[in-house]
Structures are given as structure tokens and as C-alpha cells.
């Protein structure tokens, strides 16, 4: 009976979960054993007949998960059980050459690298797709003036599309980060008990290079019994970083969906229930779920950092927690990507509300531009600043239009004519370089996502 929501099918796609299922994990380990035997036969470390027989067994699917589990009940050692199950399929003369020169961690760590290789192959196209959807939204709304908020307060005018461009840029950069980090994360080790390749001797590195090439991994430069955990820690950080960007997007959507702002809204289907008590509620539950899961991803970074410091050539203090943290990281990130992609794809943008929100402060959002116009007239900055602030307080206290108060003020109209002031209160002229910024973001997304499509 499932205990965790991952097991029940609530979170994560089938394709990502398949990578971390027991049967698939066993297939990775068997494939690794076959790659090592093939390489060892190629360089003459083990007899050709043994190499061919072992490779044949690894491709035959004759080693079952049930049999490995039966043997593990006796040995209490998962890798030893795998080797025994493989040996059962071998002729007597081949049995001594199964797992030759290897240690359990060679199998376990390299198989984990194979899982990460395939997990990234699922995650990266989803990241690329999200970047494209975001940049398309950015382009669509690149000329729509909106309120830019800092500290939760109205600050100035932005293009609404700029929000999406910022997100698209960082999502695209995550692809760059992952691609650049693979050489440190997707590593292969076949160097035995304490990392010397003692049984295989001088040909140990040649074997490792051949196995790494066959499996699409990077041969480890130096290791103890285990692959150093710095690479796994970097992977966990990258996953948490991607999750945090998705969280950033989700939080902005949640804020913009607040009743008082109502600039965007998650898609709400007919028959969907937002609240069991309040029939009219339309809660941003998908975005909230993204934020919730992001907290788990960030917490796992600390665990991966703790795993770096092992005793001597290794201990087992990392082993149990990695059986949780690594699968959870990718399955939950996959869930977050699926969620936020759906949210952005179906997001309802309320243009009328975006426009009306510009006027909530009765024009005070344009104060930056009034200040700049006075500076151009030669008025010292802090003289102009304090006069504008004085008039803003008057307008606020009396609930009046900021523009009207400015027009009526004798000091201000000495510097700016009424027609000049009125022109400053047109939001369309204050988008600055927004369109060019969005176009640059689009170029980055296009070049970055093309690499994923071509790989």
C-alpha cells in the first residue's frame, strides 16, 4: 500500500518515476556490469569467452528482481545479491569473471549517474518548453503598460511582458547550468575497493574510459571507494535552484491573482472546487503547490552537503538518505515543471485590470517622470524631489488626482507647462527599452533551447 504521494501517483510523471523504480535501477546495474565485462574482454583482462557470456546474460533479461531480492534476504547486501544472481546464469568457467575487479560502489554510483543522465534527458526538454512558453507571453505583452512594484508598493511603469521575459531568461540559463555541470555530475567509476584499480592494474583506467564512453558518462579522475559527493551536492543545488525559480514565478502569479489586484488568474475549470465552504473561491492551488514543493527541494541541499564528508575512503552515512533525496529531487522537480508549464500555458491575463491598477494611486506612479522632466529644466535634484513629494502628500491627503495638484501648483508650473505635464501621464511612453530587452531575451531562449532540440 502506498505511503508517500509519489508512490500513489499524485506527484511526478510516469516517465521520470520509471527511471527510479526498482526494476529499472536493476537494469542500470546489469547494463553497467555488461559494459565493464565488455571493456575488460576488449583489453584482455578477462577471457574473451567470459566477456561475451557475461554481456549476453546482461542483455537477456534473465536476472529477475525477485531473484535478487531472495538472495538479498540471505546476504543482506543488495549488490552481492545481484552478482550472485548473475553468476547463477553463467557457466562454471565464467563465474570467476563476473564483477571482476569491481566494488559495490562502482556499480551503485555509476548506476546513479546513469539515472541522472536519463533524468536530465527528461527534465531539460521540459525546461526548454517552459522557456519558450514564457518568452511567447513576454512578446505578446511587450507593449502592455503595467504597474511595477517594489516592496509591495507601486514604483514605476513596466511592460507586463517584461515579467515573463525575466523568468524566461533564468529558465533558459538553467539549461546552460545543467549542460555545463554534467561533466562534474555524470561520472563513471570502475576503480575498485579504494579507488586504485588494484585488481585491474595499469589497464584499470583504460577499462574505465571504455565503460564511460559506452554509457555516455565521464570517467572519474580520482576517487576513493565512492565517487566524491561534491557532484551530487552540485546536482541537488541545481535542482533546488530550478525549483526556486519556479517558486518565484508561482509566488508572482499568486500575488497578481489576489482579489485586490486580479491581474492574472490560473485556469479554473467548470466543476472545479476552490473551497469546500466558499462556492465562489478560485484559489491558485497549482502555484501554491509549486511553492510548497520548492521548500522540500531546498531542504535536500543541506543533506547533500553533509554527505560530502565521509570517513577515510568511505562510510555508509550517505547511502540511506541518497535513496530518498536523489529520486525525490527529480520526481518533484518534474512535477513542478509540469504544474507551472500548465499554469503559464492556460494563464488568464486581465488587461483591463492591469490598466486600471495603474490609476490606483491617482497618478502618483508617474512621479519618477515628473522628477526627470524637472531635472532636464535645470532644477537641482533634491529641490525638485522635495517639491514633488510635498505635492504628492497633498494629493494623497485630499484624495485628489496627482496631476491636478501638480497643474494647480504655482512653483511646479514655472518649470513645466500643463501640456508637458499631461504628456508625462501617458503610460505608453514610459516602457523604456522593454521591447529591446524582451527581444534579447527571446534570442537567448531561442539559442539555448535549440541546443536541447539538437541534442
Catalytic annotation, residues: 151, 275
Residue that the C-alpha cell 518565484 belongs to: 248
Q: Is 158 helix (H, G, I), strand (E, B) or coil?
A: strand
Residue 268: all three cell numbers together: 479554473
Measured between alpha carbons, how far is 151 from 380 in angstroms, rounded to an integer?
27
> β-strand 153-159 against 348-349: which pairing, if any?
unpaired
CB 78 within 8 A of CB 72: yes
DSSP letters spanning 323-390: HHHHHHHHHHHHHHHHHHHHHHHH-EE-HHHHHHHTTTTTTGGGHHHHHHHHHHTT--HHHHHHHHHH
- DSSP 8-state assignment for residue 96: G
HSE value, Cβ hemisphere, 13 Å, CA-based, for 184: 14
Vertex 291, ends 289 and 294: CA angle to 5°?
A: 110
Residue 96: all three cell numbers together: 570467476
- The CB density around residue 229, as the number of other CB atoms within 10 Å, is 21
* DSSP H/E element including 402: helix 402-408
Measured between alpha carbons, how far is 243 from 340 in angstroms, rounded to an integer?
10
Residue 82: all three cell numbers together: 545481484
Measured between alpha carbons, how far is 248 from 242 in angstroms, rounded to an integer?
10
Residue that the C-alpha cell 528482481 belongs to: 65
Range 17-38 burial, b when 16+ CB lie within 10 A, else e: bebbeeebbbbbbbbbbbbbbb
Measured between alpha carbons, how far is 317 from 310 in angstroms, rounded to an integer?
7
Q: How far is CA 152 from CA 156, 360, 429, in A?
A: 12, 14, 24
Measured between alpha carbons, how far is 52 from 93 in angstroms, rounded to an integer?
12
Measured between alpha carbons, how far is 279 from 122 in angstroms, rounded to an integer?
38
Residue 202: all three cell numbers together: 595499469
Amino acid at each position: 500500500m502506498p505511503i508517500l504521494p509519489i508512490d500513489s501517483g499524485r506527484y511526478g510523471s510516469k516517465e521520470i518515476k520509471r527511471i527510479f523504480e526498482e526494476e529499472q535501477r536493476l537494469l542500470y546495474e546489469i547494463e553497467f556490469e555488461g559494459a565493464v565485462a565488455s571493456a575488460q574482454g576488449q583489453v584482455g583482462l578477462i577471457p574473451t569467452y567470459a566477456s561475451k557470456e557475461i554481456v549476453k546474460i546482461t542483455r537477456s533479461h534473465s536476472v529477475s528482481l525477485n531473484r535478487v531480492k531472495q538472495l538479498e534476504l540471505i546476504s543482506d547486501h543488495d549488490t552481492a545479491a545481484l552478482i550472485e544472481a548473475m553468476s547463477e546464469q553463467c557457466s562454471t568457467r565464467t563465474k570467476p569473471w563476473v564483477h571482476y575487479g569491481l566494488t559495490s560502489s562502482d556499480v551503485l554510483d555509476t548506476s546513479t549517474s546513469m539515472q541522472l543522465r536519463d533524468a536530465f534527458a527528461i527534465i531539460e526538454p521540459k525546461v526548454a518548453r517552459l522557456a519558450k512558453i514564457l518568452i511567447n507571453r513576454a512578446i505578446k505583452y511587450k507593449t502592455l503598460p503595467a504597474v511595477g512594484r517594489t516592496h509591495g508598493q507601486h514604483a514605476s511603469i513596466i511592460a507586463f511582458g517584461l515579467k515573463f521575459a525575466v523568468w524566461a531568461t533564468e529558465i533558459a540559463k538553467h539549461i546552460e547550468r545543467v549542460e555545463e555541470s554534467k561533466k562534474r555530475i555524470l561520472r563513471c567509476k570502475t576503480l575498485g575497493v579504494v579507488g586504485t584499480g588494484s585488481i585491474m592494474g595499469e589497464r584499470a583506467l583504460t577499462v574505465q574510459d571504455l565503460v564511460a564512453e559506452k554509457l555516455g558518462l565521464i570517467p572519474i579522475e580520482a576517487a576513493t571507494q565512492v565517487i566524491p559527493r561534491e557532484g551530487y551536492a552540485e546536482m541537488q543545488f541545481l535542482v533546488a535552484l530550478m525549483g526556486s525559480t519556479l517558486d518565484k514565478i508561482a509566488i508572482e502569479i499568486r500575488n497578481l491573482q489576489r482579489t485586490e489586484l486580479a491581474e492574472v488568474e490560473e485556469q479554473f475549470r467548470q466543476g472545479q472546487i476552490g473551497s469546500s465552504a466558499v462556492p465562489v473561491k478560485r484559489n491558485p492551488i497549482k502555484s501554491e503547490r509549486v511553492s510548497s514543493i520548492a521548500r522540500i527541494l531546498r531542504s535536500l541541499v543541506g543533506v547533500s552537503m553533509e554527505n560530502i564528508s565521509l570517513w577515510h575512503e568511505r562510510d555508509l552515512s550517505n547511502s540511506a538518505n541518497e535513496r530518498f533525496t536523489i529520486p525525490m529531487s527529480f520526481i518533484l522537480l518534474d512535477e513542478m515543471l509540469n504544474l507551472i508549464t500548465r499554469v503559464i500555458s492556460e494563464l488568464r491575463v486581465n488587461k483591463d485590470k492591469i490598466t486600471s491598477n495603474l490609476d490606483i494611486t491617482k497618478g502618483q506612479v508617474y512621479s519618477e517622470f515628473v522628477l526627470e522632466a524637472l531635472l532636464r529644466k535645470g532644477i537641482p535634484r533634491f529641490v525638485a524631489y522635495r517639491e514633488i513629494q510635498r505635492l504628492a502628500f497633498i494629493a494623497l491627503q485630499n484624495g485628489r488626482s496627482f496631476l491636478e495638484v501638480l497643474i494647480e501648483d504655482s512653483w511646479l508650473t514655472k518649470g513645466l507647462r500643463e501640456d508637458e505635464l499631461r504628456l508625462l501621464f501617458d503610460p505608453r511612453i514610459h516602457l523604456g527599452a522593454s521591447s529591446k530587452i524582451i527581444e534579447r531575451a527571446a534570442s537567448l531562449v531561442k539559442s539555448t533551447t535549440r541546443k536541447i532540440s539538437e541534442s
